Amino acid sequence: MINLNLQDIKGSYDAVFSLGSACNPALQFQRLNLKRFTSSPLDWNYSPFLSDVNRLLKNKFNGFMEFKNMRVINDKGVSMYADEGVFVFPHKGIHKPVKSYLVLDTVYNIFSAHDFPIIPNQHWFLAYPPFKKTLNYRIDRFLDKVRNSPSILFVRWVASYQEAVELESTLSQLTKGNFKVLILNPVEGLQGISEVDWGLSRTCVVNVPNDPNSNATWDYVLNGVTLTN
């Protein structure tokens, strides 16, 4: 079977989408001018396991982040409130961003880390209605673009072989055009970047240093990737 490599990833795409696991791919897309649309449903969430994302895609996001399934996991402000990936500050005189609740979707095991600001004397769920309205809009647009774009690149930080096989199968059902998948797997202590042969015809896998914020890593693996005019 033909194995996809980084050379095969180079090219022009109608859309480039992040499939998690955290915000890093989406932030890098912004930096490298690879975001044609505003945020997609998984840009600013934390999805530790691709198997859960696969299930979410198979279900076409049905039941995603429904209020009855959401639980506050941390109210200490370990993450920050953000709008389209940009930290929100209360006003210009204060230079500390607003802290955010960490909220878990217990059905899909995916965390919202930047959507629910911690405001004194205010319940977290008061921010839920506008959050869900925005999320539903992102879902509808994402599914439409996935279904109708002639060429798409999907990027994921951390995946197992079996998850990657399942992802290819799932995306084949959702897309009409051509798609490719780029998976970055972090390896502790690794200094360079090495390609991995998983024998998948639509998926390129690379082992990378364990730093999802490394611009050098992202510059290397996304070199030659552009958006169509």
Is pTM beyond 0.85? Reply is yes
DSSP labels, 158-182:
S--HHHHHHHHHHHHHH-SSEEEEE
**Is residue 156 situated within a structural domain?**
yes
Range of the domain at 133: 6-227
Look at the chain and count its residues: 229
- Rounded (10°) angle between helices 128-148 and 161-174: 80
pLDDT score recorded for residue 92 = 58
Find tokens 């599914």 and name the residue.
Answer: 143
Q: Both tokens of residue 27? A: 């932030």
Alpha-carbon distance 14 to 153, whole Å? 8
Q: Which residues contact 166 (CB under 8 A, 6 or more apart)?
A: 50, 51, 54
**Is residue 25 situated within a structural domain?**
yes
- The per-residue b/e assignment along 19-42, b for 16 or more CB within 10 angstroms, e otherwise, is bbbbbbbbbbbeebebbeeebbbb
The model's pLDDT over 68-113, given as tens digits with 9 standing for 90+, comes to 999 999 999 999 999 888 878 776 566 688 999 999 999 999 999 9
pLDDT score recorded for residue 86 = 82
Helices marked H in the chain: 6-9, 24-31, 50-58, 128-148, 161-174, 215-221
**Is residue 94 situated within a structural domain?**
yes
**Is residue 48 situated within a structural domain?**
yes
pLDDT score recorded for residue 1 = 55
pLDDT score recorded for residue 96 = 80
- Which amino acid type is present at position 4? L
**Cβ atoms 200, 168 nearer than 8 A:** yes
**Is residue 20 situated within a structural domain?**
yes
Low-confidence ranges of the chain (pLDDT < 70): 1, 91-95
Number of domains in the chain: 1
**Is residue 210 situated within a structural domain?**
yes
Alpha-carbon distance 118 to 99, whole Å? 6
**Is residue 28 situated within a structural domain?**
yes
**φ, ψ of residue 82 in degrees (nearest 5):** -140, 155
**Is residue 1 situated within a structural domain?**
no
pLDDT score recorded for residue 93 = 60
